[in-house]
Chains A and B, each alone.
Chain A
């Protein structure tokens, strides 16, 4: 039997040398066709002979969508509908920012996945892929405690408000609380309390106003509120259609809501008492990796794999700003505000941190330094600095 030539030969001939721009556009459509053909076992020669003119339809659709866009803008303008940057036109622009790395924390043997600040403004807890959770005095860079979890990919960790315990979890589907003992001989793992139980990985956790309650989010699509002492489930939150990746508690006066973001591209606001989803926002084009409230609690920011960060106003029930740039290709993994809410720091998967002017929507600064993805970023409780953790095994504190 005559051996059939592997298809790659034919296709390379078509595509390689004459890779001028026009044909690129055709390829983008052709590659869909070729996948179909391979699956359906069509001989390639036949396929190449078929007429493919996607460029015409693409151009037509493009101009149609542009026209619709303009019409929408016009209608919006008539009703005085505005975006945040328009309202902020009269605000003074920000000057140049110089932010240097003031501390580098080395000690993790693998990717740093999560970190959180202690209320004392200088200590932090961090967790990594190899199962290690470390408590540092970031100011002196001393390590104060270390715990080895029985699982890898510890994606979530949080410091208790009292500073006396830390919570963490990941691929073990649990959230465990470790009281921080100062006895050098004591094995922290011995006093561990298993609090939360999900049916998929733990993506984020946070203590509420006290050491006694923990809020968790999970790859099983739910969030849950737990009583630490008993491990009892106090409330569960259902509504996401896919993995929930992040959460943040509202700083509001009545302290009863929180926001979560997930792989279903939605950000949901929940009532902690009833378990109901009271607001939902769906404008991102891909997974939402991080959500964080604006300091007043009137809005929250999100960071997504679609390479944008966005601001959602809770009273207006709408997105009011997008922070993006065509040259930013990779997703934002983690976001946080400066104390006044004027700056939004975003850690990205392209190893950089972009600093945004929240009001004007422009980028103020780009910070290099990490040698792999930035996976976690938090501003310190008194706003004097921010800390970023990365897949390059380090954490950096910058001002």
Chain B
């Protein structure tokens, strides 16, 4: 937050600049990054006063939109966000930074899925599983000269660790919003009309507020296909699994995406045996095929895991009356019964469904698609006729564009930029994704098949280079040489199309690539960036250096 001194010092400058900025903002295609850069270049001495300048700019932009500047003007708030998950939180923080009067409505707990029933507690479990796995790998230990005898774990202790972490992060989120002056309104939010929201107990929304802009950020819940009976004890979703109330001897995991894969890592490390049930013909659909193949070698085959692919779990019955959990498998194509599995527990990890019921979307003529709120590339909600609903946005899992916590947050920030008068379009291809198995998997941009398809359509060439963790000093020092990094790029322009990593700390390594994509850095530029030695980041350094470009006249030819 800026100090009051800074405001007063720069007040005279901002008033005039604000007007200029609003002009720039209204120019089509004048996106924020360019505007900022221009300002910094022309007026370097004023950089310190950027924040107040932008504040004023926002007001000016808002005024230009036809509303009265400031939080008055008949509206209770500049921005009301429905849902205090990671997306809503990111949007709220940025809105405050932009000087918007902001409220956030939460009907459950602050932090949403990610903090309470997703990324955060699962990372606590995975941290435990990583250590258990290491301690149990006698070969690994011995080769490093370590001697450990019979490591064990206390289930409740592990569960408490996950729960404590969630509470801690939840209170951090709550405090950060309170400290910034975001109003946290408790209740279920419903849109009752244009720029009007009611909230209160579910079904009885008794308080009504008005807002210049509304962001829907209600997130998602685990998706349970029909035929599956959840009892929360032996058949359950990630919501229950994260509480780690039991560690079954044998658990079937329905779905082999991120969630299923991470849980298989946790359960096998804690001693369970795992059976994957995957509807598609290949495990880990959605990953780059080469990465999926290697992941199968590293994360599935050597572990106590087997799998059934190309099958649906058509019926799952929880354990009762002295019978185990029964899973009926049918062929995904012919729908014929194939087999019945008898296991101790089943985790349903078949993806997530948007949580958009009760939002009152019918009041503003918006029809959801499979529950998702339709939006355009600027996250503006579209009504049934395909028109943009003014002042209404939807971010995160609820719009289904990219169901990741940090994507929701990025979308929220993008929306706040827009309502502050700066056009902004989020490049979803620059959003990294990670799967926190041991070793981790991460990716950004296109997979190789996607890149090749795009290349065919648009008529350019695609090159792929790979480096191995086996060649990395730090990885070898850690005795963790399993893994590869893969770069997909255009040899004509040097544009990075996608990067996929499987290996130690892959999730932390991906950002060099995702930042490069976001900023449009090309291989020929980034390859000169220096990396500390010896670090895992040299895996990417090697990757960029391995990428060869097509020699083109006038570009790569050196003066003779």
Asked whether A and B interact, the reply is no
Q: B residues engaging A (CB < 8 A)?
A: none
Q: A residues engaging B (CB < 8 A)?
A: none
